[in-house]
Structure 1
């Protein structure tokens, strides 16, 4: 949900209280953008400030624009799909809504706005129309550079990079040591996709961070697990998160970050870093130092790295998985802890042995063992297959025990 509130950032944060929302800087026209989920933020702000809000309601099949001005509330509703109910606002309703929006933004009539609202099918469409016809505040933190930092198996980084390496310069993969790899897409917007893909490709114990820089001294990070951000922080970007205004909330972020990264993290130092929203030095340099991430990571972020980087070749999912499987087989890399491999080999050998004994019994008894009226081709076929399985399992187990590597 996007809310444009006619109030200062301080007033918006105060009205929201503990409600979780990202509150942007106030524009020269007195508007402040708020990004949030759920209906708590709009309930907290309605009546306290004039506002425009747009959001999707997928369960109801609606797109909603809510306007609250001078104590009067009105809603306009569009269907998410062309054939769905409700019907889009009528021409008269769209004309009235356009007039009210122009009054809210304090501008003259916008003749093209009402006709354009006829084709709205998503909240994003409404947001685009507001940006096109009115002077809106900054809607997102401006990120000029961003990289994904991954600690885990290198193949996971390659898989994510290749799946997201579309046009442009592709995704560069730079190992920086201590199992950390940096992925650089060269574009902050694409980098978000790379970060989510890396988190999805990695194991649940993998660590995936996105580090970013913005205008001036703005900088920040996001810790991503699977498909969502589980911790984030920023400095000097002009945005505030109402739920993180107090120190206990920021300390909780520090604890999540320290627990996820693990190792000897200086938790008091990390708490102090996250409690500050402005710093004279480089907060990201201090962050990687406290977390034990190689300093070369920031060289990649700042475009000053001299370390060799691999440019990921874009490919589809099946091609990527096939190439990574071959790469692992060619390099003899273990696919898991040695005891797991040995257990799998033993189980495979046991199953093969049972099948071999069963096959011999069926052939020896001319099918009577399984109440067959003779021996079939399948009964004969099971003998060499099971025999090969027993031999292969025994050989794999022998090599694991003697040399600690896979066939």
Structure 2
């Protein structure tokens, strides 16, 4: 590994990591994040050292978080607060808009994002404290806004379940976005909360093609498993949204009708979509992925993406970043709207209740604990 000062001028994209070292991963390279003063590259010194490097294995770091609730004021996002128990995501979705956040840790948004993960073991205790703060006013808490709360790490760390236990105790509304069937493990909590109008789940359904899903989302459940998850959630009385995201022109765009029909048949009651977003490093990562997996379509796909972003690969403007603009974006939007209307997936926009909220009792630790009730 050689570290060189980051050049001031654009350079050729980084060399792909050998397939054997990244087997089962989503991205092709592991380029340095945008904040790093040096660019790290692997160079063969003539002794075949690169052939003997270890494959990328999942590494977990524990973080003592300082806060639990992340707030935003973005006008194009339907929630103003969220909780994220993990940084990075082992699902490895190549298009994940959260990848650039790994650059803040001094890590690569590429292979590091899906193999060097952070766990916040104190997140539930912090959440309890913040919900019990004087003057706290409840609104829907979002889970799954940055990385999937039910990625494989959750099987052992169970932080998402602990968060749900706190929210259920406080009767606080929660909305979850996930690709994982592991959400069914917490069906006991979710069904009880849903019965009170306090919970809903969105299942991300990107494609029905298992080969394409394996390429784009290598460690996420199969499309069939996600449809089964929608069915079981709906049968348990948990409202389910089918989130067809991201829609990628000329790659999965043609599946919009089939995706919505399958989700409706499984029990989904609402639907939503987001056009592919390519902020920061994702632009390069996605182009590398296209070159390796869909080289014949690469120019066509990138051309259509630019048509939806005013000639660029990405536009971060409010509303534009989610849906795009121009003829291509308009066509995708109308196709989705017509299919949703035909299937009745546009008729219900569930608002969760906030009037049942009860602040959880504080447990001390440097602050006065609430007096326990005698009755």
* Structure whose residues are more often strand by fraction: 1
Which of structures 1 and 2 has the bigger CA Rg? 1
Between structures 1 and 2, the one with greater helix share: 1
**Higher RCO by CA contacts (8 Å cutoff, separation 6 or greater):** 2
**Under a length normalisation based on structure 1, what TM-score does the superposition of the two structures give?**
0.27
- TM-score computed with the length of structure 2 as normaliser: 0.29
